Amino acid sequence: MKSKHILKLFTAGITAALLVLYLSACNMDDDDDDNDMQEETTREFSVKVINLTNNQPFSPITGLLHGSSYQPYSLGTSASSALETLAESGDNSAFLSNANVDNSAAGSGILAPGANETIMLESDDDKIRLSLLTMLVNTNDGFAAIEGVDISGLEKNESLMLHAKVYDAGTEANSEAAADVPGQMGEGFNMTRDDRDFVSVHSGIVSMEDGLTTSALDSSHRFDNPGAKVIITRIN
């Protein structure tokens, strides 16, 4: 009885699909210019970010849509000054004004551990990559990110769920000292590069409790990957 019902639904589904195919075929034969214009739709995406750390507030989340020729960072290579600035201070302005970025959006403020925020992005392109970056404010130059995720194939109402790792910009030594960590009221950006000068996966927090006597951080600030959850949904 149940499988019969499912079969019926299935048949109805095929009929509907054929009808859609038929109608869209009619559309394609239509020479009306207005219809051609409508096919160039703007794609809109919502990007929800959840802070999965225990005690690492995020700087305002930064979403970028761009083409395949642009990378906001590349693992194993030197950080751009835009990345250095974001990873050391949380300031995302250089990314938001980057000429290689087609569309950008930023979160409204600090994203607390456990909290989530959704930003909206849109593009007229059909080849779209998404990058997302945010500083972990109780680090020297740690940031959670995803880079160059191809979302061109995402259909309307379809979602992509990803986890973001935590990276080290490699531009500031991981002293964990209060004077150097923005979340401990310390300094943000400093153009001196006194670390290894390449982007790597972050090695984590050592903390004072674990023997780093200069550290202002404790066990609550430690983290493991992933640092964030990212849910991308094409809404239009």
Partner 1 sequence: MKKLLTSIAAFGILSSSQVMAQDLSIKVTNLTNGIHFTPLLVSAHDANSRLFMEGTTASTSLQAMAEGGDISALSTDIQALGGDVSENPAAGLLAPGANTSFTLMTGSTNTYLSLTAMLLPTNDGFVGADSIMIPATAGTYTYYLNAYDAGTEANNEVINGAGTPGDLGIPADPSAENGTGATGITTAENNTMVHIHRSNMGDRDATGGTSDLDSTVHRWLNPVAQLIITVN
Cα Rg of the chain, angstroms: 23
CA-to-CA distance for 184 and 205, rounded, in angstroms?
Answer: 14
Residue 200 interacting with partner 1 (CB under 8 A): no
Q: Which of 11, 42, 54, 236 binds partner 1 (CB under 8 A)?
A: 54
Q: Which residues contact 73 (CB under 8 A, 6 or more apart)?
A: 79, 80, 83, 133, 145, 147, 167, 169, 199
CB of 219 to partner 1, least distance (A): 4
Residue 184 interacting with partner 1 (CB under 8 A): no
Residue 222 interacting with partner 1 (CB under 8 A): yes
Please report where in the chains the tokens 């499912």 appear, as a residue: 6
134 forms beta bridges with 144
For partner 1, what does the binding mask look like between residues 115 and 144, x meaning CB under 8 A? xx----------------------------
CB of 68 to partner 1, least distance (A): 27
CB of 113 to partner 1, least distance (A): 4
Q: Which of 210, 214, 235, 236 binds partner 1 (CB under 8 A)?
A: 210
Q: How many CB atoms lie within 10 A of CB 187?
A: 15
Region of 32-40, 45-53, 123-131, 183-191 interacting with partner 1 (CB under 8 A): 45-53
Residue type at position 139: T
Residue 77 interacting with partner 1 (CB under 8 A): no
Q: Which of 36, 42, 97, 114 binds partner 1 (CB under 8 A)?
A: 114
The H-assigned helical ranges of 2-128 are 2-29, 33-39, 81-89, 93-96
CB of 193 to partner 1, least distance (A): 28
Region of 86-94, 120-128, 173-181, 222-230 interacting with partner 1 (CB under 8 A): 222-230
CB of 166 to partner 1, least distance (A): 10
The H-assigned helical ranges of 90-213 are 93-96
Q: Which residues contact 177 (CB under 8 A, 6 or more apart)?
A: 186, 214, 215, 216
Nearer residue to partner 1 within complex by CB, 22 or 109: 109
Residue 98 interacting with partner 1 (CB under 8 A): no
CA-to-CA distance for 137 and 204, rounded, in angstroms?
Answer: 13
**What are the angstrom distances between the C-alpha of 6 and each of 15, 24, 64, 127?**
14, 27, 43, 37
Q: How many residues bind partner 1 (CB under 8 A)?
A: 25
Residue 113 interacting with partner 1 (CB under 8 A): yes
Write out the residues near partner 1 by the rule CB under 8 A.
3, 6, 50-55, 113-116, 207, 209-210, 218-220, 222-227, 229
